[in-house]
Amino acid sequence: MRRLKLRIFLILLACSISACGLLSSEPYVFKGLEFEDPVKAPEFTLTNQNRQLVSLSDFRGKVVLLFFGFTNCPDACPSTLGTWKQLHESLGDEVDKVSFIMITVDPERDTPEILKKHLALFNSDFIGLHGTLEEIQEVADDYNIYFEKEESGSAAGYLVGHSTLSYLIDTGGNLILGHRSYEASAGDILSDIEYMLSKPSSAINSGGKLMLLCESGCMVNLPVRNQ
């Protein structure tokens, strides 16, 4: 009888520990390309589609999706914005905790008014940022983003070749993930965001040197200036 009581006690104790989350569990595996050691996302200040100055730090306390693109983009940009549209609709009550930001890499044609009209086709909550070519280049360099004009011979006159990674910045302003535009589904990004929102920023950020898998599979240091 004494052994039976002891076994029951041990079972109840194990259940209690498990319920309290004290037993070890499998760590969450991010769906995107995870930074080896997240650091603070480089600060910037640009003009939004309402011609108001906006800084990255204005979004502290929210998860930020950050993408560099342009309105005449034929493939990666509409694909990314379409995925964002699905993601926005899937966030439900959590949607106010997430900001979607696209920085134009074609400031010559993408005026704030054009950005506003274009982004509204996907979701009016999306934020489009504009600046001078020099300002955009500086921010792009800080985030290791490549972009360059490419003559296309089309009615558009030219296209802009550019990096297609979307960055995920946590509520503490730390660069956490990169998602490939052609590979990331709304469900995958949603899963990563829900995990990030469930954990304090300090539980994700380990500090130190920042590394990111680049699109060709190599590793690059961030922040770094493109040559």
Identity of residue 96 = D
Read off the pLDDT of residues 145-193 as tens digits, 9 standing for 90 and up: 999 998 877 676 899 999 999 999 999 999 999 998 778 899 999 999 9
Range scoring the smallest mean pLDDT among 51-60, 122-131, 135-144, 212-221: 212-221
* Helices (runs of H) and strands (runs of E) counted in the chain: 6, 12
Q: What are the residues facing 130 on neighbouring strands?
A: 47
Neighbours of 122 (CB within 10 A): 19
Q: How far apart are CA 35 and CA 215, in angstroms?
A: 13
The domain limits of the chain are 28-222
Joined tokens for residue 44: 């910037």
Joined tokens for residue 64: 């930020």
Identity of residue 3 = R
Residue pair 160/148 in contact by the 8 Å Cβ criterion: yes
Phi, psi of 169 (to 5 degrees): -110, 130
Q: How large is the average pLDDT for residues 80-89?
A: 96
Question: How would residue 200 be classed by pLDDT, with cut points 50, 70 and 90?
Answer: low
Domain 28-222 has CATH 3.60.10.10: no
Q: Give the predicted TM-score (pTM) of the model.
A: 0.78
